[in-house]
Structure 1
Amino acid sequence: MNPKDAAVQNNPDTTLVTQTAPIATATHGGRAKCLQRLVRLELPVPRTVALSFSTVEAIASGDLPDVDHIVDQFPTDALLCVRPSSQDPDWGGPGAVLNIGMNDARFEMFSNTMGEEAAAAIYTRFIQSYAINVVRLDPDMFDEVEGEGKVALDETIAAYEQETEEKFPQSRRTQLRAVLLSMARAWNGTSARLLRQAKGAPADAGLGLVVQQMVFGLGAGHCGSGVLQLVNSDTGAPQVTGRYLSQSQGRDALEGGSGSMFLTSDPRGPALEDVLPEAFETLKDHATLMRRRLRAEMVMEFAIEDGAVHILDGMRVSRSSRAAVRIAVTLAQDGVISREEALMRVQPGLLTELLHRQIDATARRDVIGFGIAASPGAATGRLVFDSAEAQASAARGEACILVRRETSSEDVRGMHAANAVLTERGGITSHAAVIGRGIGLPCVVGASNIIFSQRDKTITAADGRVFREGDELTVDGSTGQILAGAAKMQEAALDDYFRTLMQWATDCADIKVRANADTPADARTARNFNAEGIGLCRTEHMFFDQGRLTVMREMIFADTSDGRRAVLERLLPMQREDFTQLFRIMKDQPVCIRLFDPPLHEFLPMDASGQRELAEALDLPRSDVTRRIEAMREYNPMLGLRGVRLGITVPEIYEMQARAIFEATVDAAAEGITVVPEIMIPLVSARREVELVQAAIEAVAAAVRLERGAPVEYRLGVMVETPRAALRAGEIAPYCSFLSFGTNDLTQMAYGLSRDDAGRFMSDYVRQGVFDEDPFHTLDHDGVGELLKLGAERGRLSQPGITLSVCGEHGGNPESIGFCRAAGFDYVSCSPFRVPVAILASAQLAIADKIS
């Protein structure tokens, strides 16, 4: 190595890329580091100098490094290119500039060596790129350039000189200075900064630059350029893929055109494998070496000059969520990486895309409005405006989108029948959102920029278009967009690679993940996704079936305790069968059943026609029905007569449910299924509430033991969803086997904020920094989290063996799982379709702890 090389190699700001140069991703960017790794593999990489983040930052301020020193690292007649090198390739950067150093003298020289047409193409390309990217001229100024070769070059030079009123710069050093300054300042532009921040980059993310000697894909002999990778980006399956274009530079091959070739032999046209078999085999060998030694599937940018292969760049293959899982699993199965590293390479959020149908990335989107992306997945269907019509559509085999101002418990059956739900109101933990995530139903809520008319059965988009009942729309619950018409879809992909990844994750995770499951279908989904039991079964959803709703209403209208018990006797066998099915599906896994929670008025019709039908069914005057419904109406139902308060004032409901649970337990045991049901009391705020319900439930258990002549075991616990329950957990815990924190209601009460109305202003609050995140989406560690910690500490202090869990929607959020794990919780419970995300997040947390 000559002294000049050594000086540059050891300069941390302008570093010659060699095997031992001081280059790191954190200081020079991913592209610079990858090029060094390729040099270490002794691959044919052109000579390259890397500029550090700090150097580029200085350049943007007008403080350029010794450009002469950089240029001196390359042969006198070499052309150069400059490419961006950000820390993460997804953050992007300014476009590459090729052929720096091209001027009139080199044009004459290259005309003699590679032919005038090729030399003119190189020079023309450089002038136009320099004009647009460096001098910031309008690209339209070259629209008048026609023809090829020298004619096009002369016209380009004339257009440049006419616009700038100066000669095109001829000095390689002058050109390089201008390119470096332009690219550095482009990185700091407002649009570029906002764009990369949207992709997750920090505000102060740095940019490196690499200056590389050009390899001509133009000239005499076999010349060209292309890209190659060893896997399919959509599926992750092994497949040599890419394109090659003779007489081209950079990524011209990917722009298509008739001259672009396939890589492998293909009946559709010529291929590199046929034209240059030796070069093709060399490229495959290089790619295989990169995969093994760089421990990743890479896309390789290459150039061929007179038959010789040169590797210009390497980067991780872009991949769909399906491909990301298969690539990670395959690399581990091939021994390239460990299982733990494979798990760490898949972002938990990617799994959401695999579990649901999504709009194809290539589909055209006619967006008519947007709301909160409340439940992932996408679906197309015809608009319906009530649950009855949704069920009728399902019976006819027609896909439908259920449109409601906001959903209530009465809409659950319609939601099950619909393909997606769209609501005007609501937030991330509103009724529609929670039920949608639970059953895997795409859902967009809080679509406030669309005008809803339930009376006219229309929705009106912001641009004035009106969509009526029966019109076809597409709802994208992953982005919050509402689209006109039917969009092209990509199906869910739960293949063997997904299942393998999830099994590895389950083996690594050290906090259990259960599912919130209310129906047999939910329970089966939970089992399929490796949930370790049911952490929350909301029994009230079982009462909204049409055959049970009328009986439930009879119970509400009964005037005496005996009258209510008589009606509930008719519900008992139905409820018992519900629990027996859950126990069968979950087999020997734990099932936590929350006793009845909502206020009774939710089961009563609010509209005149519904009240008239109820009066006829109960054989009562309509005035009596209306008066009774009005009397039950509450100013704030969320804080009214519900949960344990209802269980104490109307004890017959909890008694019936307890009997159904215990009789189902005995029936399951007779089938060889071991079940110790967990019975959860909702909305507890005082110890005495637990004492009263505990006594009532134990009395039922004793009666069932006597009647059935069989043992009945159970675990009793409370749902901690009021701040007082968290603060007084030390008093409550001695009466419990478990404390399950319901973070949905706990967040509402801690903030004094309705989760259904928060969507109207939450985005403004987050944008202005009032909240870091929507507290209904990501657990508030400081406020609600402190209540969880206090409740956990005080509960364990008075009852050391008590089980702690979170069963709100936060149980499926990776950040919230990290908090629960650190706080010593035993498990989290979330919607069935969020279980894989929670398991993977838990595994990654355990692996990260192990590494650290």
Structure 2
Amino acid sequence: MKKISDSSTTKSSSQKTRYVYNFGEQTDGNASMRELLGGKGANLAEMAAIGLPVPPGFTVSTDVCTYFYAHGRSYPKTLAKDVEVAVKSVAKQMKREFGGRDNPLLVSVRSGARDSMPGMMDTILNLGLNDETVEGLASISDNPRFAWDCYRRFIQMYGDVVMGVQALNEESECPFHALLDNMKTSLGKELDNELTAEELQELVQRYKKLIADKTGKSFPQDVYEQLWGAVGAVFGSWKNDRAILYRSQYGIPAEWGTAVNIQAMVFGNAGDDSGTGVAFTRDPATGEKVFYGEYLTNAQGEDVVAGVRTPKPIAAMAKELPKNFTDLEKVRTRLEKHFKDMQDFEFTIENGRLFILQTRNGKRTGLAAIRIAVELNKEKLIDQKTALLKIPAESVDTLLVPVFDAKAQKEAKLICTGLPAGPGAATGRIAFTAAQAEIEARKGNKVILCRSETSPDDLKGMLHSQGILTTRGGVSSHAALVARQLGKVCICGAADITINYERKTLTANGITLKEGDYISINGTTGSVYQGLIESADSEVKRVLEGTMKASESYTYELFNTVMEWSDKYRKLRIRTNADTPAMAQTAVAYGAEGIGLCRTEHMFFEGSRIDDMRQMILAVDGVQRREALKKLLPMQRKDFVGLFKAMAGRPVTIRLLDPPLHEFLPQDDAVRRQLADKLGLPLEFVIDRIKALHEENPMLGCRGCRLGILYPEITEMQVQAIFEAAAELLTAKKPVEVHPEIMIPLVGFKAELADQLAIVHRIAEQVMTRKKIKFKYMVGTMVEVPRAAITADEIAEHAEFFSFGTNDLTQTTLGLSRDDMGLFYDEYQQKEIYSKNPFASLDKTGVGKLMQFAVTNGQKTRKDLKLGICGEHAGDPDSIDFCHNLGLQYVSCSPPRVPIARLAAAQAALRAAK
């Protein structure tokens, strides 16, 4: 069991089995108890404690969720009694009775994970209504229509979430919605709130019949049966497909579990002086300090979030409900000052009285995350360190991505506008379903997911899309909320668009597009365009390249501020993986402090040199091979001169030839014939040599240091080119400082490294003698096979540095090719065997232990052993955190990931310091 850290409660042995925590007149928790109460429960307790108008309720802790799954979906013996006591306490505070005929208490039952998972788990509202209590609610409210509206909503939610009506339905359309739409059509009415009490009463009977027909069970009338059904459904939804996918996407461990929050209902659908809404203390799309959100009068919360009705902007409340708007402004200020972050909060107004139903740190776009953090610091609400920790490192990427080319956008055909919900520019093929979006993405096509409104079931399609476009809903709808978190471009509430799912068409203002046609959306302005629009570089990139003044871009100012803060606090050095001067220059502009991986094999594909490389590979002996290598030497030397110049004295780690030789040879018969003709060789000879070099498993074959051992002349040529380039720059009229680091790949035995090391030192001495100059260099290895990690103490006798090549180290440790993982990854993800893709985020418990072993034992042999990482994991924030704690000196990632790595490294240092 978790220990309760709340200082406001007495720490006694009885607390070890406590499962229920109240908020309201008596509040047992606070915001620090997220692990036990979940984010929602902890914040409800905190708001109640500081006196905000929170309807009373209680939280069933995450410990119960753990127990629930460990004991066959059953509950601790004491829980039923504890819940009953808590329900009576809520009823007493509300002066109502749960299940009471005359003055019934209704409650909501909601999930509450430690980290917010919007829309992924189940919610039930208006619980406690039955055929008797609905009459009581009608009587005390003096509003029968309101009471029956609540009842039909409850039956629909309960029938779907708890009794599984939708899952049993053969049609994709929700059967409850179908009954509602049919009734409105038959009565000639458009909106739900136009139905009378009598019509809603008839709808309730139809809903109950639907449940009986689909499930063979009657809708439960006992309120405690309803309550336990709802609690079980919420706990059960922790492991539904949506939640599993979401947790995998955001690295939320399954063992955390969810809490369940049971709270007295307040009613936004009680009349025209009632309403409900979602508000943000700042604009979650841009980060601007404005009151942002929307509301509906005479409605309940799901009407806003689900996007069924397009709500009004929060500013309109100043005229429609001025007192409530003033109260909301006060709440907005108080929440942000107390929680010291942009808040996303839900509110309900019941007969003119304001209630706050929940608050959480608001989901935001990358741009907004950076702007909010920087401006909260300027406002002296948080310090620099706190500001840095509030920015998801991946957010930086959103400042670097392209935007629509201004000229191309002006010339494009505007078909309509909607509400800008996720900034940026996206273009792609129209997909009307999540499944189609996935199909198009797997073909390599860019996709815009177009829906009337999205639901949590659309998450997979949203993940595969560049942008999301909906015809209904507002900026706090499900589509907008999830898109912002995913960093997707999003437009909601494009009401001029009509989507016909059967015909697979999208129509707006006389223009009809079909599924698969191109569409472009500008999530910053809300504009929707026909066709494909070319994009342009971001403002940050234009400033870095000198085509735009820094003073003209507030976005660049934000970027620069965060980078300066990051460099102030990080310990890790940030290098880049670059093979050309252009790549190196881009990386330096983004803040790279050296090259951690130059893949020399990439240099051989440029221009006609591939033919010289092929001639070398096809050589039958060392003499022929050396002749071909003579042609490649000046090309390699020129490459390294350009690279060293671009890095201007920064260290450059150069990996010697790594891939198997057959990868350079043509597989197409026509190209083989052209090669044979060009080299003056018989075609049969070329074909025979290619067959002879074929490997059954190239990843585990003749590659890396094995090539240099079999063909030492290849190593000789490469290191000669490196050292001659260094000598040329060091002796130039304007000398350039050079720090070459030669990396021997795929070493598993110290003798392999010793063999190649002897060649490197011999060639270095020859060049220095011939050029009459002395220069420093380092020689190390890429640790990418388990044996290298296990024998690190031996290998460190010869290696001056280790660079972990975690792409291959992951493959060889897991016995898994990253190219074949797609065959089973989805299943492994659903079963939570893999919490994350091991090729995207480092497998700390497997590969990470090998790295730890290598670091510890390598440093025992060589105390000054330099340590780095150059696999793709070096650009992953979670992996960077691990590398910091492992004691590496640097990470090396692709040029566009350098800013992300700078921020992630700072965050790792700040977390470690805590």
Residue 264 of structure 2 aligns with an amino acid whose one-letter code is Q
**CA displacement at 1:592 relative to structure 2:** 0.2
Q: CA deviation at 1:554?
A: 2.9
Q: In the superposition, relative to structure 1, how do residues 235 and 124 fare at CA in structure 2: closer, same or farther (>3 Å)?
A: same
SS in 2 for 1:311: strand
| CA–CA separation in structure 2 for the residues paired with 1:650 and 1:259 | 70
1:571 corresponds to: 632
Q: Does 1:71 align with 2:97?
A: no
Q: Are the equivalent residues in 2 in contact too, given 1:224–1:249 (CA < 8 A)? A: yes
* 2:287 aligned residue: 236
**Which of residues 141, 144, 148 in structure 2 aligns to 1:124?**
148
Question: 1:516 and 2:583 equivalent?
Answer: no
SS at match of 1:197: helix
Q: Does the 8 A contact of 1:19 with 1:37 survive in 2?
A: no
Q: Would you say the 8 A contact 2:235–2:258 is kept in 1?
A: no
Partner of 2:123: 95
Q: By how many angstroms is 1:661 displaced?
A: 1.6
Contact 1:372 1:759 in 2 (8 A): no
TM superposition shift of 1:539: 0.4
Q: Which of 765, 770, 792 is 2:855 aligned to?
A: 792
* Counterpart residue number, 1:451: none
- Give per-residue Cα distances to partners, 1:337-386, cap 9 Å, x unaligned: 233333333444555666657968996356558699999x97479xxxxx
Map 1:680-719 onto structure 2 (within 5 A): 680-719=743-782
Q: Give the one of 108, 123, 141 matched to 1:82.
A: 108
Distance 2:50 2:831 in 1: 49
User: Which position in structure 1 is the counterpart of 2:334?
Assistant: 289
* Counterpart residue identity of residue 238, structure 1: K
**1:52 match:** 60
1:182 pairs with 217, 223, 229, which one? 229
Q: 40, 44, 60: which is aligned to 1:35?
A: 44
Identify which of 205, 208, 216 aligns with 2:257: 205
**Distance change in 2, residues 1:159/1:641 (3 Å):** closer
1:362–1:243 distance in 2 versus 1, CA, 3 Å: farther
CA distance in 1, matches of 2:49, 2:428: 37
Q: What is the CA distance between 1:35 and its match in structure 2? A: 3.1
Alpha-carbon distance change, 492 to 176 in structure 1, aligned in 2, over 3 angstroms: farther
Which ranges of structure 2 fall in alignment gaps of 5 or more residues? 1-8, 10-14, 69-74, 97-102, 166-174, 188-193, 213-219, 403-424, 449-465, 467-515, 520-529, 541-554
State the AA in 2 paired with 1:332: N
Distance (whole Å) between structure 2 residues aligned to residue 503 and residue 492 of structure 1: 22
What SS does structure 2 have at the residue aligned with 1:677? strand
Picking from 431, 449, 465, the partner of 1:364 is 431
Q: Deviations over 1:271-301 (max 9, x none)?
A: 2233444543442232122111111211333
Structure 2 distance, partners of 1:529, 1:328, is 21
* 1:720-735 alignment, distance < 5 Å: 720-735=783-798
2:780 counterpart letter in structure 1: G
Spell out the pairing of 1:740-755 with structure 2 (5 A cutoff). 740-750=803-813, 753-755=816-818
Distance 1:372 1:62 in 2: 50
Contact 1:473 1:486 in 2 (8 A): yes
Q: In 1, are the aligned partners of 2:741 and 2:780 still within 8 Å (CA)?
A: yes
The equivalences for 1:161-172 within 5 A come to none
How far apart are the structure 2 equivalents of 1:48 and 1:353?
40
Deviation digits for residues 143-185 of structure 1, max 9, x if unmatched?
54756334435534665787899xxxxxxx9875455333212
Determine if contact 1:97/1:179 at 8 Å carries over to the other structure. Answer: no
Residues 295 and 784 of structure 1: CA distance in aligned 2, closer, same or farther (over 3 Å)? closer
The CA distance in 2 between the partners of 1:650 and 1:510, in whole Å, is 40
Q: Take 2:310 and 2:900, find their aligned partners in 1: how far apart are those partners?
A: 45
**CA offset digits 1:192-248 (Å, max 9, x no partner):** 64433333263572433232362556447x544333323233232333222233444
Asked if the contact 2:429–2:518 (Cα under 8 Å) also holds between the matched residues in 1, the reply is: no
Cα 1:725–1:49 shift into 2, 3 Å = closer
When residues 205 and 682 of structure 1 are mapped into structure 2, their CA distance, relative to the original with a 3 A threshold, is closer
Segment of structure 1 superposing worse, 176-185 or 291-300? 176-185
Contact 2:152/2:200, CA 8 A, preserved across alignment: no
Structure 1 stretch displaced more, 92-101 or 610-619: 92-101
* Distance change in 2, residues 1:274/1:555 (3 Å): same
SS of the residue 1:610 aligns to:
helix
How does 1:164-563 map onto structure 2 within 5 Å? 177=224, 179-189=226-236, 193-200=240-247, 202=254, 205-212=257-264, 214=266, 218-219=270-271, 222-250=273-301, 252=303, 260-264=311-315, 271-304=316-349, 309-348=354-393, 364=431, 367=435, 379=446, 495-496=555-556, 497-558=558-619, 561=622, 563=624
| Matched residue type, 2:20 | D
SS at match of 1:50: strand
Which residue of the partner structure matches residue 104 of structure 1? 135
- Cα separation, partners in 2 of 1:557 and 1:93, compared to 1, 3 Å: closer
Cα deviation digits, residues 252-281 of structure 1 (max 9, x gap): 4567799953333xxxxxx22334445434
Distance 1:290 1:360 in 2: 38
Question: What's the CA shift string for 1:479-511, capped at 9, x where partnerless?
Answer: xxxxxx989999997643344434433433323
Q: What is the CA deviation profile of residues 78-110 of structure 1, one whole-angstrom value per residue up to 9, with x for unaligned ones?
A: 864424251343165433424967643553454
Partners in 2 of 1:259 and 1:665 — Cα distance?
Answer: 65
Deviation at 1:677, TM superposition (A): 0.7
Query: 2:415 — aligned with what?
Result: none
The 8 Å contact of residues 268 and 297 in structure 2, kept in 1 or not, is answered as: no
Q: 1:131 to 1:323 in 2, by over 3 A?
A: same
- 1:810–1:817 CA contact under 8 A, matched in 2: yes
Given candidates 848, 862, 865, the residue that maps to 1:802 is 865
Distance 2:864 2:803 in 1: 14
- The aligned amino acid for 1:52 is V
Structure 1: which amino acid aligns with 2:156?
A: I
Q: Does 1:630 find its partner at 2:697?
A: no
Cα distance in 2 for residues equivalent to 1:526 and 1:237? 30
How far does residue 612 in structure 1 lie from its aligned partner after superposition?
0.9
Instruction: Kindly provide the amino acid, as one letter, of the partner of residue 331 in structure 1.
Output: L
CA contact (8 A) 1:19 1:36 kept: no
Q: 1:774 to 1:123 in 2, by over 3 A?
A: closer
Paired AA for residue 623 in structure 1: E
Q: Deviations over 1:293-343 (max 9, x none)?
A: 111211333344666544343333232344333333333343222333333
What secondary structure sits across from 1:188 in the alignment? helix
Write the distance in 2 (CA, Å) between the matches of 1:272 and 1:598.
65
Please report how far the alpha carbon of residue 543 of structure 1 lies from its aligned counterpart in structure 2 after TM superposition. 0.4
1:580 aligns with 641
SS at match of 2:380: coil
Determine if contact 1:28/1:50 at 8 Å carries over to the other structure: no
Q: 1:324 to 1:567 in 2, by over 3 A?
A: same
Aligned partners of 1:231 and 1:237 also within 8 Å: yes
Secondary structure at the aligned position of 2:796 is classed as: helix
Give structure 1 stretches of 5+ with no counterpart: 1-5, 112-118, 166-172, 265-270, 382-419, 421-470, 475-484
Distance verdict in 2 for CA 1:591–1:59, change over 3 Å: same
Q: Distance in 2 between matches of 1:226 and 1:361?
A: 33
State whether residues 360 and 490 of structure 1, in contact with CA within 8 Å, keep that contact through their aligned partners in structure 2.
no
Distance 1:558 1:764, change over 3 A: same
* Partners of 2:179 and 2:670 in 1: CA distance: 69
Rounded to whole Å, the distance in 2 between the matches of 1:641 and 1:259 is: 63
Number of residue-to-residue matches in the alignment: 722
Counterpart CA distance in 2 for 1:603 and 1:810 is 26
